[in-house]
Structure 1
Amino acid sequence: MRFFNEKKQTSPTSSLNNPQYPQNYPGANGYYGDDVPVAAGYDDDLHVQCPSHTTERKLVTRIDLHVVPFLCILYLLAFLDRVNIANANVYGMSKELGLTGDKYNIALVIFFVPYVLFEIPSNMLLKRFRPHVWLSINMLLFGFTTAMQGIVKSPSSLYATRFFLGLFETGMFPGCFYLIGMWYRRHEAQKRYTFFFCSTTLAGAFGGLLAAAIGKMDGVSGYAGWRWIFILEGCFTVLVAFLFFFVLPDFPEESKWLTEEEKSYVAARLRADQGHSARERAIALKDVGNVFKDYKVIIAGFMYFGLIVPAYGYAYFAPGIIKGYGYGPIQTQLHSVPPWAAAFGFAMLLAVLSDWTKKRMPFAIFSICVCITGFAILIAVHDNEKLQYAALFLVAMGAYAAMPIVVCWFNMNLGGHHRRSVGSAWQVGFGNIGGIIAVFAFLSKDAPKYTTGYSICIAFTILSIVACIAYGIACYAANRKRERMAVDVGLTETEKTELGDMNPEYRYLL
C-alpha cells in the first residue's frame, strides 16, 4: 500500500565530474536544491551507502506508513474535540447552560488564549522529550478534558474546560507539521502536509455524522444528547492516546523501525535538500530570538493569520448558518458534511499539482480567491438557499486548501531543527490569534445574514494574499542576492548548520 506516487528522478552530471553527486548536491556547487542522490553509490559526504532507486521508493513508502496515518488520526481527533462544541450547540447546549448574549462566543475564544501563548514552548518540549511521548501525553489530556465538557453545569465550568482544552492541544498542530517536515524533502512535502491537514476536513465531516448519530442518545442515563457528543468523543480520544504512545513516530535520527544504514540515508537525502538538521543540539532562548531577526518569519505569520479567521469562522458557525436555512438538528448535521468532503478533494488536488510544479505561491493565492468568491456570494445573495449552500462549499474548499499550502511553504523553507521548531510554532501561534477574531465576527444578533462576519472574513483573506505575495517576493529577492554572491563564502559546516536557511548556500522554494 502506498499513499503517494513519487516522481522518478535522475541524477544530473556533477560539475565535479562525479556521477554519484547530483548538480545541486552540497559540495558540488553549494546549492541546496530539490535533486538528491537516488542512484546506488557511496555518499562521500556522509560516508554511507546510498540505497538504489527501488530501495529509496520502498523506504519513502515505509516513512509514509509510519508517519502520516498516525499523525492524521491524532489531529483529526484534536480538531474534532475542538470544534464539536458547534455540533453540541445545535442540540441545545447554550439553552441548557444559559449561554445568553455573547457567552457562547466567550467559551469559544477562551480556547485560543493558551493555544496562542504556548505554541513555541510546546515545540521546544516536543524536541526535548521526543514526539511520541509529548504528543501522546497531550492527546490523553485533551481527550479527558473533552469528556469533562459533557458534565459541565454552568458557563464558568465550560469556560474552564475550554481553557484547558486549548492548553493541551497547543502543541498538536505545529508539532505535527514540525515532525513531518523533518522526514521529507521539500518537493515531497506538500502532499503529506495537505493530507495531514485534511484531517481537519475529515473531522468536520465525521463530526457532523457522529453528532447526527450521537444526538439520538438524548435522555440516555439522564444526559442530553449534546453531552454525549463530548463524553463519547473525548473517551475515544483517551483510548487512542494509550495506543499512540507506542506507535507515534519520532524524528528520523531516533526511529527504531529504521536500520542504521536507512537512518544515515534519510539524513543524507534531507541534508542535500535542506542542509544540516542540528538534531543533536538543544534549542536555546537565543535561537528563538535569532529566528525573529528574519523579517520573512514575521510575514509568514500573517499568511496564516489571514486564513484562520475564515477557517474557524466556518468551522464554528457553519452548522448554525445551515440551521438557519430551516433544517432540523439531524438534517443540519448531515448537510454540514458535503462541504468538508469537497474541501478534502480540492486540497489534495492542489497539493499534488503544487508538488509536481514545485511551486507554492500561485496555488495559495488561487485557493484564497476561491474562498473570497464564496464569501462574496454569501454577502450578496440572501434569497437563494441552494446558492448560499453552494457558497459554503467554496469557503471551505478555498480556506482549507490554502492553509496547508502556506504552512508547508514556510515550514519547508526553514532550515534546521531550531529554526523550524520555533518558526512553525510562531506561524501557528500567531495565526491562531485570528481565532479570537473569528468567534466574535459571527454574533447571534447578525443572523441570518451575518454581513459583518462575512465582510471581516473577506478582509482577512485579502490580508493573507498580500502576505503571500510579500513572502514570495522576499524569498525571490533572497535567492537572487545569494546567486550573485561567491560560492565559497568562507563558512565552516558548523556555522552553516547554525544559520539554517539563512546560510548563503540555501535557496528558498517559491
Structure 2
Amino acid sequence: MADEKASAPSMLSKDKEAGSANYVEDTPIYNADVDVTQVDEKKLLRKLDLYLIPWLSLLYLLSFLDRTSVGNAKLYHLEEDLGLSDDQYLICLTVFFFSYAIFEVPSNVFLKRLRPSIWLSALMFFWGIMMTVQGLVHNYGGLLGMRWMLGMFEAGLFPGVNYYLSCWYKRSEFGIRAAVFFSAATVSGAFGGLLAAAISNMDGVGGKPGWAWIFILEGLATVVAGVLSFWIIQDFPDNAKFLTEAERTVVIRRLQSDDQFSAAGEKLQWKYIWMSLMDWKTWIGMMIYAGSDMPIYAFSLFLPSIIQQLGYKATPANLLSVPVYAAACIVTCGVGFFADKWGRRGMFNIIFLSIGAAGYIILVVSKNAAVSYFAVYLAACGIYPVIPNSIAWVSNNVEGSYKRSVSIGMVIGFGNINGAVSSNVYRAKDKPWYPMGHGLVLMYIGIGLIFSVVYMFFLIRENRRRERGERDESIGDSTDGDEKNGHFLTVADAKREKGDDWSGYRYTL
C-alpha cells in the first residue's frame, strides 16, 4: 500500500533530527484531495519500469550502435572506398563529438519545456535519416557532414533520458534504472559486432559495399523506432496518460518526500540555469564524467581494431568483442543495484576506476595477445559501470527540475567534448599495441579517480556543516537560523528557492 507519508494531509519538513532546528512548518501536500490508499507502491514501481525502461533502453542501444558502427564499418574497407587518409578518418570521428556536446544542454531545456514524446521522437527520426544517408556518401566531405549532423540530433537522447528518468524515481532508485538503460550501450557493443559481421555479407548488393549497408540498415531501424516512439514514450509524471490520477499523485508525493521539491512542476526561470552554472558540484561532476566518458568512447570506437591487431581478421575481431561487452553489461547492472542499495556511489567510482586503470596498465606494458585480451575485460568492467553511476551521483545531488536538466546536460556534454580526444589517440602508425592511446586513456581514468575523491570530500564536509546547523535559514518569526543563509516565510519557500542548497537537504555520498 502507499506509505503513510503519501496519504497524509501534509508532509512534514525536515526537523531537528535532520539537522534543521528551525523548521516547524509543514510543506503542503500535492493533490491533498486525492485518495491514494488503494495504490500499491511496489506494483506502481513495476508499472513505471515496464512502461519506461525497456523502450528507452532500446532507443539508447540504437543510438550507441549508430554512433560507433563506424568503427565496425572501418574493418570492411570504409577508408579505402572513400579514399580517406588516417587523419581524415579520425576527423570524421571527432566532429561528431563537437556537435553532440554543443547541443546537449539546449536539448535538455527543450525537453523540459516540450513533451518528451515529441522531442525525443523527433530527434530519433532525424538522426536515423542522417545515419541512413551516411551509407550513401561518396567522399570525405559527405561523411564529415553526416557525422556532424548525426551528433547534433543524437545529442538530446542520453542526457535527456537520464534527466527524464530522474523525474520519475527516488534518488535511491535511480541508479539501477540508469545502469539498465546505459547497459544498452554494452549490448550494442556486442550486438554491433554481430550485426556488422552479418550485414557485411551484403557487400555488392545494389552496387553498395558492405560498410554502406551497415549504415543504411541501422539508420532505417532508427527511423522506424523514432516514429513508434511518438506513441510509446511517456511524458512527465504529472500528466502521464498510462497512470491514474491516484498513481500520478503517489509518484509525485514520493519524489517530494525524497527532497525533490520541484516534482509537482516548475516554471522556467533563468536563475535556475544560473544556479547550475554557479554550482561547484556541476564543475567537479564534469571532470568525474570526463574521466570515464573519454575512455569509454576510445574503447567502443577502437575495440574491433585493437582485437584485429592482436592477430584476428575483421569478422573474428567483431565477434571476439561480444563476450567483452556481455561481461561489462552484467557488471554495470550489478553496480547500479548495489550503489542504490548502499548509497556509496563515490566508493563504487573509486573501486571500478581502479579496476579500469589496472586493465590499461596491462595494455600499455603487455606485448602478448592473450594477456592484452584479458586486460580488455578489466578495462570494460572498470569503465562502463562508472558512466551511469556518475550520472546518478550528480543527479542525486541536484534539486530543481531545470537546474538538474542543465547540470546533467553540462556534465554529459563536457564528457563528450573529451570524447573527441578519444577519436584521435589510436593512430594507425601506433599499431599494433597503441601505447599512446592506452596511456592517454589511463590519464583520463586518473582524472576521474582524483575528482571522485574530491567530490566525496566536499559532499561529506557540506553534510556535516548542515548537521551542525551552520546552513540553517531563518524561517517566519523564528529566532533560530541565520539571516545570512536567507529568510523565508515558510520551509516550503526555502525549499523552492534554494533547492539542494536548503539546509535540510542531504547529499548522497
Calculate the TM-score normalised by the size of structure 2: 0.91
Question: Which residue of the partner structure matches residue 192 of structure 1?
Answer: 177
SS in 1 for 2:13: coil
2:324 matched residue in structure 1: 339
Residue 293 (structure 1) shift: 1.4
Matches of 2:383 and 2:48 in 1, distance apart? 28
State the match for 1:40 in structure 2.
none
Aligned residues of 1:191 and 1:348 also touching (Cα < 8 A): yes
Match for residue 93 of structure 2? 108
Q: What does residue range 427-506 of structure 1 map to in structure 2 within 5 Å?
A: 427-485=411-469, 489-490=474-475, 491=488, 492=490, 493-506=492-505
User: Is 1:55 aligned to residue 40 of structure 2?
Assistant: yes
CA distance in 2, matches of 1:335, 1:507: 45
Equivalent residue runs for 1:274-289 within 5 Å: 274-277=259-262, 280-289=265-274
Q: Which residue in the other structure is 1:141 paired with?
A: 126
Mapped contact 2:430–2:436 kept (Cα < 8 A): yes
Measured against aligned partners, the alpha-carbon deviations of 1:62-97 in whole angstroms (never above 9, x if no partner) come to 010111111111111111100000000010101111
In the superposition, relative to structure 1, how do residues 282 and 32 fare at CA in structure 2: closer, same or farther (>3 Å)?
farther
Contact 1:21 1:28 in 2 (8 A): no
Give the C-alpha shift of residue 45 in structure 1: 3.1
Cα deviation digits, residues 373-404 of structure 1 (max 9, x gap): 1101111111x211111111111111111111
* Structural mapping, 1:248-263, within 5 Å: 248-263=233-248
Report what 1:38 is aligned to. none
Q: Is there any run of 5+ residues in structure 1 with no aligned partner, and where? A: 1-7, 34-42
CA distance in 2, matches of 1:290, 1:331: 50
C-alpha change, 1:31 and 1:266, in structure 2 (3 Å) is farther
Report % sequence identity: 36
CA 1:29–1:193: 2 relative to 1, 3 Å: farther
Aligned mates of 1:500, 1:456 — CA distance in 2: 38
Equivalent position of 1:3 in the other structure: none
Over 3 Å counting, the alpha-carbon distance change for 1:501 and 1:203 in structure 2 is same
Q: Which residue of 2 aligns with 1:318?
A: 303
Does the Cα contact within 8 Å between 1:50 and 1:265 map onto a contact in 2?
no
CA distance in 2 between counterparts of 1:286 and 1:278 reads: 18
Q: Does 1:45 align with 2:14?
A: no
- Answer yes or no: is the 8 Å Cα contact 2:2–2:37 preserved in 1: no
| Residue in 1 that maps onto 2:57 | 72
> For 1:411 and 1:114, how far apart are their aligned partners in 2?
23
- Structure 2: distance between partners of 1:266 and 1:203: 31
The whole-number CA distance in structure 2 between the counterparts of 1:391 and 1:245 is 42
Alpha carbons 1:364, 1:402 under 8 Å: kept = yes
Aligned twin of 2:507:
508
Contact 1:279–1:417 under 8 Å retained in 2: no
- 5 Å-filtered alignment, 1:120-199, equals 120-199=105-184
Cα 1:358–1:278 change in 2 (3 A) is: closer
Change (3 A) 1:261 1:28: farther
Describe the superposition over 1:249-284 as per-residue Cα deviations: whole angstroms up to 9, x where unpaired.
211011011111111111111001023116533323
Q: 2:256 and 2:337 mapped to 1: Cα distance?
A: 23
Deviates more, 1:256-265 or 1:170-179: 256-265
- Taking the TM superposition and a 5 Å limit, the aligned residue runs for 1:359-398 are 359-382=344-367, 384-398=368-382
Q: Note if contact 2:298-2:423 (Cα within 8 Å) is conserved in structure 1.
A: yes
Letter in 1 for 2:13: P
Q: Which amino acid aligns with 2:396?
A: M
Using the alignment, how far apart are the partners of 1:32 and 1:402 within structure 2? 31
Per the alignment, residue 118 of structure 1 pairs with: 103
Superimposed CA distance per residue, residues 96-133 of structure 1 (whole angstroms, 9 cap, x where no aligned partner): 11111311110000001111111111011111111111
Query: Which runs of no fewer than 5 residues in structure 2 stay unpaired?
Result: 21-26, 476-487
1-structure distance, mates of 2:195, 2:56:
21
C-alpha deviation, 1:182, in angstroms: 0.6
CA gap of 1:503–1:488, structure 2 versus 1, over 3 A, is closer
Q: Cα distance, 1:319 vs. partner? A: 0.6
Pairwise CA RMSD of aligned residues?
A: 2.4
Task: Please give the alpha-carbon distance, in whole angstroms, between the structure 2 residues aligned to 1:27 and 1:86.
Answer: 52
Give how far 1:52 is off. Answer: 5.6
Partner of 1:411: 395
Following the alignment from structure 1 to structure 2, what is the Cα–Cα distance between the partners of residues 372 and 334? Answer: 25
Q: Give the conservation status (yes or no) of the 8 Å contact 2:7–2:37.
A: no
Deviations 1:420-471 (A, max 9, x none): 1111001001111111111111111111111111111111101001111111
Tell me if structure 2 keeps the 8 A contact 1:413–1:508. Answer: yes
What is the aligned length?
A: 487
Residue type matched to 2:75 in 1?
Answer: V
Q: Distance in 2 between matches of 1:220 and 1:380?
A: 44
Letter in 2 for 1:26: S
Relative distance call for 1:30 and 1:220 in structure 2 (3 A) is: farther
Are residues 139 and 335 of structure 1, via their aligned partners in 2, closer, same or farther at CA, if it must alter by over 3 Å? same
Post-superposition shift, 1:9? 11
Shift of residue 44, structure 1, vs aligned partner = 7.2
> What is the aligned counterpart of 1:233 among 199, 202, 218?
218
Q: Which amino acid aligns with 1:114?
A: S
Residue 271 of structure 1 aligns with an amino acid whose one-letter code is Q
- CA 1:145–1:31 in 2, change beyond 3 Å: closer, same or farther? farther
**2-structure distance, mates of 1:357, 1:53:** 30
Distance in 1 (CA, whole Å) between partners of 2:408 and 2:9 is 31
- Asked whether the equivalents of residues 332 and 384 of structure 2 are also in contact (C-alpha less than 8 Å), the reply is yes
Tell me which of 310, 329, 339 is aligned to 1:354. Answer: 339
- Report the CA distance shift for 1:241/1:31 in structure 2 as closer, same or farther (over 3 A): farther
> CA-to-partner distance for each residue in 1:403-427, whole Å, 9 max, x for gaps?
1111111112111201111110010
One-letter amino acid of the counterpart of residue 508, structure 1 = Y
Q: Is the 8 A contact 1:323 1:329 kept in 2?
A: yes
Structure 1: how far apart are the matches of 2:427 and 2:443? 17
Structure 1 position 26 matched with structure 2 position 10 = no
Alignment of structure 1 residues 274-313 onto 2, 5 Å: 274-277=259-262, 280-313=265-298
TM-score of the aligned structures, taking structure 1 as reference length? 0.91
Task: Supply the AA of the counterpart residue of 1:399.
Answer: I
CA distance in 2, matches of 1:256, 1:446: 55
Where does residue 479 of structure 2 map in the other structure? none
